[in-house]
A and B are shown apart, each in its own frame.
Chain A
């Protein structure tokens, strides 16, 4: 199928071509630079004359390969796989923490603004790969949420500026915070200055949760909120399995383990209570199975060593 040519303006782009070009945006920019024009030419040659809408087969192929190319690009950085996976894991913990801080503001109708600022700054520092900024914030956050366990609830109740900050009353609940702090310490100690900045899309999660709470009245801890969270976690773990298969890199399994294992640990520690609820038991069992599947695939495929590809 040939393109129409207009004098002095090159080929006139048909609606089909414009739609295929929009689909190509799924690919990383570097891939589009290398093959974009060629792919469009081939797509137009394979299309039947008069067609205006991309074929479902080609659309599915472009989406799958575009996402795979993005995943492969993520493994091409000079960062070692374990440092990259650790970075992603601690970022996920920071984002989830920010989600809970936002939910506390809406649900409790009160806020500790220094705590909100610290939580946002920690997430942003990890998002941009600024470890030396994240280090004091991660350690400080771990101490703040542990204050009742470290100093007693009464002694810490009136801490200036932090009286409404998140606090936990069991060590098992504090595992994610100390895991996050330890992860940031390890990354900072090995001077991972080359850590790549992560996508701003990670901030969509706290923003969407906050908007859902404030505008739609969907509480994070309600049945609908819990189902949404479980669906998102399951979807992301399935995506992680696919990405691990495509890239042959264990970094995604490490990041998933950092997020899932503290919850599994907490569940095992309180097993009799967990087993009383079939839904809760099924939820943690599904997360465990998905994590194990990802770890198994990561162990079966080529481990990326050396340059950390």
Chain B
């Protein structure tokens, strides 16, 4: 018997979300993804290389991203990753879910005495 938890789609991790967001504008290699996620998050998200490639390996296996091409720069390999249709759909759904979640709070916020409205 499959437990109830198995039927619920797991929430997307923050690393996965930011990597997919970074790839929306086009294929990037590892260092490019690290820089782009840092820019998009205003410096809040700093992916360690081990964390990045663990996530890239799982996301490739899940069909969210794919290898776009490989280049050799200064004698070193650079592999570029691109977002797939499945990845595009997943990050769009996650963004919509978070927007709905944020709306629950925003719609109920009232100005409290002594605080400026948001």
Binding site for B on A (CB under 8 A): 2-3, 5, 10-11, 31, 34-35, 37-46, 57-58, 60-66, 68-69, 299-303, 305
Contacts and interface: CB of A to CB of B under 8 A. Distances in A.
Given A2-B74, A41-B76, A41-B77, A46 B50 contact: no
B34 interface: yes
Given A300-B5, A302-B5, A305-B2, A58 B49 contact: yes
A39 B49 contact: yes
Contacts of B49: 39, 42-43, 46, 58, 61-62
A61 B5 contact: no
A43 to B, nearest CB: 5
A42 B31 contact: yes
A11 B76 contact: yes
A65 B79 CA distance: 19
B75 A46 contact: no
Contact of A303 (B2, B50, B73, B77): B2
B76 A69 contact: no
Given A37-B76, A65-B54, 11 more contacts: A11-B76, A39-B49, A42-B31, A46-B31, A58-B49, A61-B48, A300-B5, A302-B6, A303-B2, A303-B5, A305-B6
B29 interface: yes
A61 B2 contact: no
Contact of A37 (B5, B10, B56, B77): B77
Interface of B: 2-3, 5-6, 10, 29-31, 34, 48-54, 56-57, 73-79
A68 B48 CA distance: 15
A38 B5 contact: no
A297 to B, nearest CB: 11
A41 B75 CA distance: 9
Contacts of A34: 57
Given A2-B74, A3-B74, A57-B48, A68 B54 contact: yes
A31 B75 contact: no
A63 to B, nearest CB: 8
Contact of B79 (A38, A46, A300): A38
A38 B53 contact: yes
Contact of B50 (A45, A65, A299, A305): A65
Nearest to A26: B50
A2 B56 CA distance: 23
A39 B73 CA distance: 14
Question: For B6, B10, B48, which residue has the most chain A Cβ atoms within 10 angstroms?
Answer: B48
Contacts of A69: 54, 57
Given A46-B31, A299-B3, A305-B2, A38 B77 contact: yes
A25 B60 CA distance: 22
B88 to A, nearest CB: 23
Question: For B30, B49, B54, B56, which residue has the most chain A Cβ atoms within 10 angstroms?
Answer: B49
Contacts of A44: 76
Given A11-B76, A45-B31, A35 B50 contact: no
Contact of B30 (A41, A62, A303): A41
A301 B34 CA distance: 29
B91 to A, nearest CB: 21
